[in-house]
Structure 1
Amino acid sequence: MIHNQHIKSELGQDIIFQVREISNPFPEVEEQIDKFGHTSFRIKDKPFVIIGESEKGLASLAIKTLKTTQSFLLNQQDRFFKTPYIGQHGWTSLHIGKSLDWKEIEGLIKEAYLQTAPKKIVAAFRSMENPE
């Protein structure tokens, strides 16, 4: 697994660390760096979180959301925006500041994972989360 090859800023590194801490317990998650230098967290080669960084060192965090969730989040215009190029597919990005609500982000990442993962993996995750 390749880590942090292209994200260089301290804030970008912190975002990767936090997303990794949230995502690693989910079954079959893989972390990859694409040809654009984005770090993505994937299930069966489908991304559910993408972290990038501009040439100026500004970090970005995009999460795959349900359309209803995206609509709700976009109403909070000061915090969220439709991800360029892929927003029409439900991707929502956060305006990155020094303080992020990681509890809220954790819920969004979990939703993204569950919507992206195949049904068998979701069922296994649900049974792991709620053992009888």
Structure 2
Amino acid sequence: MAGDPLISLRRLCLALPETSERLSHGEPAWFVRGKKTFVMYADRHHDDKVAFWCPAPAGAQEELVGAEPERFFRPPYVGHRGWLGVRLDVDVDWAEIERIVIDAYCLVAPKSLIEQVPGRT
């Protein structure tokens, strides 16, 4: 995926079962069944980064930020809950982004929807 990172991110998020998009805090965000947020876009919203924020599995935030602080960060407001910030303006690996988005989705989606995600049970 190349071009506008918002378009690519939107495509990944809306491909998952029963997802929707709406503005949250002035930026696009994606929800499972219209209720639980699994990705929030951040276009220089709090800093100079084009990125997204999402819940991450336990320990993933620390591991990724520690290993690649130029690509990953602890986002404001939700970072203390383990959410991960992922930059979309530097060295973007869309296959990795897809895995991160799917992991975030699976952290908030009900089991019946997770079972519909290819490769997940």
CA distance in 2, matches of 1:54, 1:25: 25
Larger Rg: 1
CA distance in 2, matches of 1:57, 1:71: 21
Alignment deviations for residues 20-56 of structure 1 (CA, whole Å, 9 cap, x no partner): 221222110001102x211101103111110022368
Structure 2, unmatched stretches of 5+, are: none
- 1:25 equivalent to 2:15? Answer yes
The count of aligned residue pairs is 114
CA distance in 1, matches of 2:80, 2:113: 26
CA contact (8 A) 1:37 1:52 kept: no
Deviating beyond 3 angstroms after TM superposition, the runs of 4 or more aligned structure 1 residues are 54-58
What is the SS of the residue equivalent to 1:30?
Answer: strand
Cα RMSD (Å): 2.2
CA distance in 2, matches of 1:98, 1:66: 23
Structure 1, unmatched stretches of 5+, are: 1-12
* Paired-residue identity, %: 25
In the alignment, which residue of structure 2 is the partner of 1:114? 106
Q: CA deviation at 1:98?
A: 4.7
Task: Give TM-score scaled by structure 2 length.
Answer: 0.81
